Amino acid sequence: MGIDRRTLFKAGGVVAAVSALPAAAPGAVAAAPGGSPGPLTTRNPLVEQRADPFITRPADDTDGMYYLTGSVPEYDRVVVRGASTIDGLATARERTIWRRPASGPMAGYIWAPELHRIGDRWYVYFAAGDGDDPFRIRTYVLESPNADPRASGWLPPKRMVTGWESFTLDATTFSHRGKRYFLWAQSEPGIATNSNLYIAEMASPTSLATAPVRIAVPTLSWEIQGFRVNEGPAVLIRNGRVFVTFSASATDARYCMGLLTADENANLLDARSWTKSPNPVFVTNAETSQFGPGHNSFTRHGDDDVLVFHARDYRDITGDPLFDPNRHTRVQKLYWNEDGTPSFGVPVGKGGTVVRLSPYDARHLVVRHAEFRLRVEGNVREVADSWFRFTPGHLGAGTVSVRSVNFPDRHVTAGDGVLRVEPYADTDEYGRATSFVKVPGLADRSGVSLRLLDDPAEYVSHDNGRLVVARPGGGRAERACATFLIR
């Protein structure tokens, strides 16, 4: 959340508290047999009006459960819900585990809680202002000895001392190479920014062992829109590197995500170990109607990494952005480039399951559009160009259309034998060109083949990096070219 909250406090008093929600019940959706988690949820949003979302990663010490917490629009409490699947979080009942006092320390606004299992205890790190000075934001930690974080019995919050008496928020923690680290945003005296990112080694889950090390300061154009902000860090350790995403700029449509990277063998407490990517990695996308994506976390779905974040469905906001309650929790699969770096794509809009298609005869490649023509390539760094959705066909019962995800007004057309993604048109010609019969793969029934509507002998086929319309016949190689695996 951005330090532009200052205008929030200037604008008005404390929002009225709401009644506590009833105790949560376990998620209603069970994991698929054999340990497979089934498809990642296609709900968008996953949970409405939960900003700064944090979803735990299922593990043995959490009984395989997912737990979600985040900022509520009233900024007055810490909530937790749990389910056995990510999708189950959408309908899981929510429990208030702590509510701010009526006055004094922590009686101001409550922001950005994160829930972590450390050893045999749960900890929630959150930011809170004081009743007499709501902008005096500091970081606190709740602790529970219970196995279920939704249960009662949380100990009173403790203050996390981070080096300066200044604005402090958005703390996270992670373990690496036998050491536990604390990572957070703070306004450092003497630096003309709203918040920077800092890291320290922890002595315990409630205290630091080392002095803060500044690893990021907002200086680039996309980090200083409205406010000079680096905040909301989230950690992902993969492929020999430690990645830290963070959010930048004001909390309206200019809000976006950046990326820091360090080698996994580096001294993480040395600021020189960290490199900031020159451009943001996740930004507003008007085509998908997702605005101000940011303050993310990461979870897992089977073998896949999942990006958890908030965004709005509209750009224009009346008044201060923090009075607008509609920063909703969203999730989508995180992809990886061949060089081991994360590929975020675009914030996905509403619709069904997002898929990638790989030709059966070139399984290491994927179908993508480039300049709105379809082709087959490897190492597609513009990952959203390879995202599609199957939707009901525009013409013909039992047919499907293939819709672009990052240009949702466009569908795959094959009207003239050349495969493109073209804007929707309310004509029979467009309907025929975009409607296919989806059948089990001609070379492998676990895949799919797309037959043209007007000619049952013609199929979408792969031909040396191009997508064409062909008549595969009975040959094995031809049938493989007309078969696609869903990724």
| Residues labelled catalytic | 52, 231
Sorted by sequence, the CB contacts under 8 Å of residue 215 that are 6+ apart come out as 197, 198, 199, 244, 260, 271, 274
Among residues 90, 86, 172, which one has the least CA distance to residue 127? 172
Q: Which residue has the tokens 């972590």?
A: 116
Q: How many CB atoms lie within 10 A of CB 132?
A: 11
Encoded tokens for 227: 């406010």
Nearest to 75 by CA among 51, 59, 104: 51
The Cβ-side half-sphere exposure at 35, using a 13 Å CA radius, reads 4
Cβ neighbours of residue 318 closer than 8 Å, sequence gap 6 or more: 324
| Number of CB atoms found within 10 A of residue 221's CB | 10
Strand partners, 90: none
Q: What tokens were used for 299? A: 């979870």
Residue 423 CB neighbours (<10 A): 12
How would you class 467 by CB atoms within 10 Å of its CB: exposed for 0-12, middle for 13-18, buried for 19 or more?
Answer: buried
- Measured CA to CA, the distance from residue 105 to residue 108 in angstroms comes to 8
273: Cβ contacts below 8 Å, ≥ 6 apart: 262, 263, 266, 267
